[in-house]
Amino acid sequence: MSIRRTKPEMPEQSPRERIKNFQEVPFGYGKEIATLEANRCLQCKNKPCMKGCPVEIDIPGFVACIAKGDFDKAAEIIRAKNNLPAISGRVCPYEKQCEGECTLKKLGEPLGIGRLERFIADYEREKGIKPPKRPDPTGKHIAVVGAGPAGLTCAGDLARMGHAVTVFEALHDPGGVLMYGIPEFRLPKTIVKSEVEYVKSLGVEVIYDVVVGKTITVQELMDKYDAVFIGTGAGLPKWLNIPGENLDGVYSANEFLTRVNMMKAYRFPEFDTPVKVGKIVVTFGAGNVAMDCARTALRLKAEKSYIFYRRSEAEMPAREEEIEHARQEGVIFKLLTAPIRFIGDEKGILKEVEYLKMELGEPDESGRRRPVPLPGSEEKLAIDTALVAIGQS
């Protein structure tokens, strides 16, 4: 029996339409397409895909259930290891993890594991998620600091072990970076809220507007609870450390996306917001966050949205799907390009970026080839907004 070498295309909004809105781009698989794709699975005995999954979901098991049409059992298998499948099915870097280990890659495209996980999570949500039976209480009470992906995952796992869990969140909504850092078109807020409700249905208590260290101290938590898990994430942006980064019009990706997502710029003019991107926007970096920034700028009516990256496309850390979506939407990629200074006017407002060309040398500690400046290649570009998306710590 011949095996299809490619996975079915994901139905999605056209680039022309989606840059006019913040609605989710991919629509997801339906039952027929999901079943068709699940039947591509080779059901390998050594299960290499599971070895690539950080939480070791029984991938062949849930895929086999989809192939047979038993979607409820597939959901049960996934939830046994993953409390947030509707989220991971959308934003997890599965190309480098489970799908990266898939045997089908030797024949063509790997199995669409992430897409199948999303299908089951969406099916389950539409049908109504039923939390598992709670185990007997252990008598232990655990404090979790932060209601982001780490905190929610930890809280859900602890609750399923029978522990009482209280989550302390500094903001007035749960989700952390899932809410403030990822745009609506890639991860809808309704999806995050639904997964949070599932975690709460396991018996997890979430208390909002609590800044640990101010509202309550870590020592107070240690005294009151049997254990404390701190999952506050990496929230401090890294900067380029070049002249002019303090000019009006230069933002960290963190600040830009937080303003857009928390202040609901994607629902303008229903919600007003101080984010104004101007006509020409340049994002520095080439990870998923950089793609989010560049694509968000287009949706905020930027006329041109650039990605500046000092290496080549082969070294770009963003997911292939995110790069392709950005390119489809009109993002302009200037590769082997590095900024050397921002230039402003007498009022301190950003007006230009000066940059130079790079070439790739020997690999550095990350395994990627080191970018080396080309002397005399300096150029300038008039810009209105600069978004620095080179990572967080």
Q: Which of the 8 DSSP states describes residue 371?
A: E
Query: 141-230 and 250-388: same fold?
Result: yes
Give per-residue pLDDT as tens, 194-233.
Answer: 999 999 999 999 999 999 999 999 999 999 999 999 999 8
User: Closest Cα partner for 90 from 20, 194, 19?
Assistant: 194
User: Closest Cα partner for 202 from 133, 123, 126, 124?
Assistant: 133
Question: 270 is written with which tokens?
Answer: 């229903």
DSSP string, 54-71: TT---HHHHHHHHHHT-H
Q: Which residues of 159-177 are buried (b: 16+ CB within 10 A; e: fewer)?
A: bbeebbbbbbbbbebbbbb
CATH of 15-127, one of 3.40.50.1100, 3.30.230.10, 3.40.30.160, 1.10.1060.10: 1.10.1060.10
pLDDT band for position 133 (cuts 50, 70, 90)? confident
Q: Which of the 8 DSSP states describes residue 104?
A: G
- What is the pLDDT of the chain when averaged over all its residues? 95
pLDDT band for position 262 (cuts 50, 70, 90)? confident
In percent, the amount of the chain with pLDDT more than 90 equals 89
Domain boundaries, the chain: 15-127, 141-230, 250-388
- Mean pLDDT to the nearest integer, 255-260: 92
DSSP string, 192-238: HHHHHHHHHHTT-EEE-S--BTTTB-HHHHHHHSSEEEE-----PBP
Q: Which of the 8 DSSP states describes residue 383?
A: -
CATH number assigned to the domain covering 141-230? 3.50.50.60
Query: If residue 377 lies in a helix (H) or strand (E), which one and from where to where?
Result: none
pLDDT band for position 274 (cuts 50, 70, 90)? low
pLDDT at 266: 66
Using H for helix, E for strand and C for coil, what is the string for 1-50? Answer: CCCCCCCCCCCECCHHHHCCCCCCCECCCCHHHHHHHHCCCCCCCCCHHH
Give per-residue pLDDT as tens, 338-379.
Answer: 999 999 999 999 999 999 999 999 988 888 889 999 999 999
pLDDT at 1: 53
- Reply yes or no on whether the pLDDT at 143 is more than 80: yes
- Reply yes or no on whether the pLDDT at 275 is more than 80: no
Residue 1, amino acid: M
- Reply yes or no on whether the pLDDT at 264 is more than 80: no
Proportion of the chain in helix, strand, coil states, percent, rounded to 5? 35, 20, 45
- Reply yes or no on whether the pLDDT at 191 is more than 90: yes
In percent, the amount of the chain with pLDDT more than 70 equals 98
Q: Give the CATH fold of the 250-388 domain.
A: FAD/NAD(P)-binding domain (3.50.50)
pLDDT at 276: 79
- Mean pLDDT to the nearest integer, 106-112: 95
Distance CA 327, CA 356 (A): 23
pLDDT band for position 130 (cuts 50, 70, 90)? confident
Distance CA 196, CA 315 (A): 35
Give per-residue pLDDT as tens, 49-104.
Answer: 999 999 999 999 999 999 999 999 999 999 999 999 999 999 999 999 999 999 99
| 17 CB-near residues (< 8 Å, 6+ apart) | none
pLDDT at 298: 97
pLDDT at 383: 99
Residues linked to residue 216 through DSSP beta bridges, in sequence order: 212
Are 34 and 116 in contact by the 8 Å Cβ rule? The answer is yes
**C-alpha neighbours within 13 Å on the C-beta side of residue 150:** 10
